[in-house]
Structure 1
Amino acid sequence: MSDIYQHFRKDEQPFVDQVLGWKKIALDQYRMKLTDFLDPREQFITESVIQHGEELGIMFFGGYEGAERKRALIYPDYLEPSIQDVELSYFQVNYAKKFISLEHPKLLGSLIGTGLKRQKFGDLLFSEEDVQFICTSDVADFVRAQLTHVGRAAVSLEEITQAEIKPVIMKTDIKEDTISSLRLDAVCAAVSRQSRQKAQLLVKNGLVKVNWKVTEDPSFTIGEGDQLSVRGFGRFSLKTIDGKTKKDKFKVTFELLT
């Protein structure tokens, strides 16, 4: 069992243990195990750990095709889960659009300000016309009662159907590259097309986020599924690590999100 940890970072071991616990529930109790929302890296870890065993299936769904944050449903392979089993609720945020505008950080801060964990909320969707978000169904009534303001703006929530969700279609650009290391500074140098030295400064100055968290350690190891945000250069995802070249460099595939 301990061999599984070698595939992940040390700081990810508690999450690996959590996934192993979900796996045990599905196997021992012969039932589905539904998680809260997972970010792309957590989805990668969950799928990797579940695939180490047999007799289990896994399904991810975040409310619409292309969702970034998704819930995982782990189930005995003789069951046939449906999207309804993922138990999502969808909301539109109504406010005085003529006079104010809502921003992603403020909405997220207000949702977390209700006392709920980030994991209870999926993607926050901002289109030209609407502001919408997705949450787990078990907290939907609580969120509707508690969220009356975003910042100083008065808001009301209207529950909508999945069909009414208006996903923001992000343009993506796939790029294959080779890098000398999976260290954060080396990856940042590759995606920003700068020297390793300049990339290190970006990291040390707090201008780089990994999975939405500022990471100031240039030696931090990047893995498949990690999302990087480099201020001034955009957002990137390390989609795959495709082995090594004859010169011992890593062959990787990046996805640029715009």
Structure 2
Amino acid sequence: MNVNVYQHFRKEEHSFIDLVKDWQEQVEMQYAPYLTDFLDPRQAYILETLIRQNGELKFKFYGGYEQAERRRALIFPDYYIPEKEEYNINLYEIIYPIKFGMLSHGKILGTFLSTGVKRESLGDIISDGERWQIYIKGEIAEYFHLQIKKIGSLPVRLEKRNYTDMIVAKDEWSLEHTTVSSLRLDNLISNVYNISRQRSKQLIDSGKIKINWTECTRPDFTLDLLDIISVRGFGRIQLKAIEGKTKKEKYRLLLGILRK
């Protein structure tokens, strides 16, 4: 791996860069496609950046539906034509007694991860307010089907669905432009939710912030392209584009915002 590549990414992302390099080498040596686990948008951006530097390889992303946030990547030789079935993604609906309680994204994810699998095995979790569905890596879907019998205190069962049975998600992202003095985590949270920097630091210190599904307790964490920030009790933010700077050296940003 060219050392110069690392300087464009965070230190904690270097291990993922090495992983992508290994995938590339495997495709080149075996002349066969390689299918990744589910990637978050930031990981997908890194993978795309690296593979575009290799003219002999191509890639495509798919997460079970066109607007998916978490997607699997297929890396393949330039002559190969992939089919959607190769992404091996299963859609399951979580059946539960609605009259006895409600599910939530956090409860569902926590229950699935408590079985010992990694987040990378799971795609998007979607809901219309009552019904819940989840995209799962096909290689281990049957394992979840056998393991998941309760979420919280509610009895549940997983039923496989065709893609045509996908529910229409209730959550709606809005696109918003803003300017910020820096790309610090506490600064962006303060700007988006119109709260004080002190309040945003309290949220971060109390473990209520995740960046790309990993808890972050650093107010000075520098955000980058396609990061997703989850703010418990407020919603989520995605840094969709850094559109340059103003005359006063402020960053112009395009954000995707999901408000609770």
On whether the aligned pair clears a TM of 0.5, the verdict is: yes
* Contact preservation (8 Å) 1:62, 1:71: yes
1:223 aligns with: 224
Instruction: Check if 1:51 corresponds to 2:52.
Output: yes
1:39 aligns with: 40
SS of match in other structure, 2:176:
strand
* Contact preservation (8 Å) 2:185, 2:222: yes
Give the root-mean-square deviation of aligned CA atoms.
Answer: 1.9
Structure 1: stretches of 5+ with no match in the other structure: none
Instruction: Check if 1:238 corresponds to 2:239.
Output: yes
Report deviation, 1:27. Answer: 2.1
2:133 aligns with: 132
TM-score, length-scaled by structure 1: 0.91
* Contact preservation (8 Å) 2:128, 2:170: no
Q: Distance in 1 between matches of 2:83 and 2:34?
A: 13
Report deviation, 1:78. Answer: 0.9
Report deviation, 1:249. Answer: 2.7
Q: Distance in 2 between matches of 1:40 and 1:257?
A: 16
* Contact preservation (8 Å) 1:64, 1:167: no
Q: What number of residue pairs does the alignment pair up?
A: 258
* Contact preservation (8 Å) 2:127, 2:170: no
Assess, with a 3 A threshold, how the Cα gap between structure 1 residues 179 and 142 changes in structure 2: closer, same or farther. same
**Among the aligned pairs, what percent are the same residue?**
39
1:4 aligns with: 5
Assess, with a 3 A threshold, how the Cα gap between structure 1 residues 33 and 167 changes in structure 2: closer, same or farther. farther
Structure 1 counterpart of 2:63, one-letter code: G
Q: Distance in 2 between matches of 1:97 and 1:197?
A: 39
Structure 2 counterpart of 1:26, one-letter code: V
1:119 aligns with: 120
1:61 aligns with: 62
Assess, with a 3 A threshold, how the Cα gap between structure 1 residues 101 and 45 changes in structure 2: closer, same or farther. same
- The C-alpha deviation readout for 1:212-255, integer Å capped at 9, x for no partner, is 33312122110111111234543111001123334333222111
TM-score, length-scaled by structure 2: 0.91
1:193 aligns with: 194
Q: Distance in 2 between matches of 1:199 and 1:14?
A: 30
SS of match in other structure, 2:7:
helix
Structure 2 counterpart of 1:119, one-letter code: E
- The C-alpha deviation readout for 1:169-194, integer Å capped at 9, x for no partner, is 53222222222222212222322334
